[in-house]
A and B are shown apart, each in its own frame.
Chain A
Amino acid sequence: MDSNLIFPPIFHPFFLPSIPKHCSYDISMALKLYGYPRSGSTACVITCLLEKQVEFELIHVDLFSGQHKSPDFLAKHPFGLVPVLEDGEFTIFETRAITEYVCKKYAANGTEDLLCSDDLRRSALVRTWVEVESNYFHPAMSPIIFQSFVAPLQGMSPDRKVIDESLEKLVKVLDIYEARLQETKYLAGESYSLADLHHLPPMFYFLRIEGMQAKIFDQRSRLKAWWEDVSSRAAFKKVVEGMKLEN
């Protein structure tokens, strides 16, 4: 899911990058997030940091000039991807590992325990639904977003066959989500967690594609209600400002 240009970023930086105004620029900040704000994976980490009300410095990595493949950057992330988090002397990459680390280290911060760590079984369900996002949702979703947003800007026509095949897989996954959300308010249980959070950026982009809102929400009322709930959270709304398309 992490972004680079060889395995192209899900979110295209065609729109002028803007660093969210909510980030502090104090160079002495312990937490440094290297990323591309419009990349979904970077957006997930920013959302998590905002939910936990943890201050950080966002350091913009220019994917288009190949900055993520420079020796300096490869020393931080040997796969040359974004995002990477530096917490003092400690460096960590992989989006879902970063958000988990932030939630554990800064457990006392913010208003929500995004790991449901008071109960081991509930916590395991958070991890299950993060795995579900990674193993079922993401492989179906990412080709649709690539074909719809990235391919055209690389001079290619969207491959309708790929989109249609992926959509067929995606709706089956979303049927399972709909059934799940009949039983619980959020994916992992009765409270908002990392499992819901990791869906926010890709869903945001997906729903901007014409016809997709109707396609997935018309017959899935619980999914729609869940989306309206999780996408209206203040932390994500701030991140969306940084992901918005220019006019």
Chain B
Amino acid sequence: MVVKVYGTPFTAPKRVLLCLIEKGIEFETVPVDLFKGEHKSPEYLKLQPFGSVPVVIDGDYTLYESRAIIRYYAEKYRHQGTELLGQTIEERGLVEQWLEVEGQSYHPPLYQLVIHIVFNPLIGVPQDEKTIKDCEAKLASVLDIYEERLSKSKYLAGDFFSLADLSHIPFTELLVTKVGKEYMIRDRKHVSAWWDEISSRPSWKKVTEI
């Protein structure tokens, strides 16, 4: 039975697709139309009571929260595909640390930029310049710390690609394209090199073609 990933073509589900491709796990995608409010339908809320995407259905098992889903598959399929969790308990600790940094510090201001610059114009909401400026400043200070980290380490958790890097890819792609702030990545030499490295992985190329 094939893993079903609900929530395409939106961005958070792409974390899951990336992970499944890296681990060589077959899946099918089920689109959810957020603009039509499908995520708030009673049927969808039975799967994901908070009304967010993605949700994964794997046989009789349902799982939500993208970062929980990618950890599950990275753990379950440890023996195949790319190792995404490091080799030791300590390396795993660092993967978790940088996954938390992504979730707590990197994602929130970036998500606000996506909402204000990409989403709101599509639904006729005017852009809030102050919020955009504040979020860019917050994201910039986080990226300064990444620049320092990546000057000492090829990837975030160490010299190995992991879930921590993977989790950044989908929304960072929006940052450098539709949000129109590629300079935030390019102005930082080590962040720029890291971005080129992780965004050129074959798995990401496949996700963009789905």
Contact = CB atoms under 8 A, between A and B. Distances in A.
Nearest to B102: A94
Nearest to B93: A101
Task: Please indicate which of the listed interface residues B50, B64, B96, B145 has the most CB atoms of chain A within 10 Å of its own CB.
Answer: B96
Contacts, number: 81
A132 B68 CA distance: 10
A131 B68 contact: yes
B92 A104 contact: yes
B89 A124 contact: no
Majority secondary structure, B binding face: helix
Contacts of B176: none
A128 B68 contact: yes
B63 to A, nearest CB: 6
A41 to B, nearest CB: 10
Interface in A55-83: 78-79
Contacts of A199: none
A94 B101 CA distance: 7
B67 interface: yes
Interface string A126-169: 01101110111000000000000000000000000000000000
Contact of B97 (A93, A105, A132, A180): A93
Contacts of A92: 93-94, 96-97
Interface residues of A, number: 32
Interface residues of B, number: 30
Contact of B96 (A94, A124, A131): A94
B148 interface: yes
B50 A176 contact: yes
A97 B93 contact: yes
Interface of B: 49-50, 61, 63-65, 67-69, 71-72, 75-76, 89-90, 92-94, 96-97, 99-101, 103-105, 142, 145, 148-149
Given A94-B100, A128-B65, 17 more contacts: A94-B101, A94-B104, A96-B100, A97-B93, A97-B96, A101-B92, A120-B75, A123-B75, A124-B68, A127-B67, A127-B71, A128-B63, A130-B68, A131-B65, A131-B68, A132-B65, A134-B104
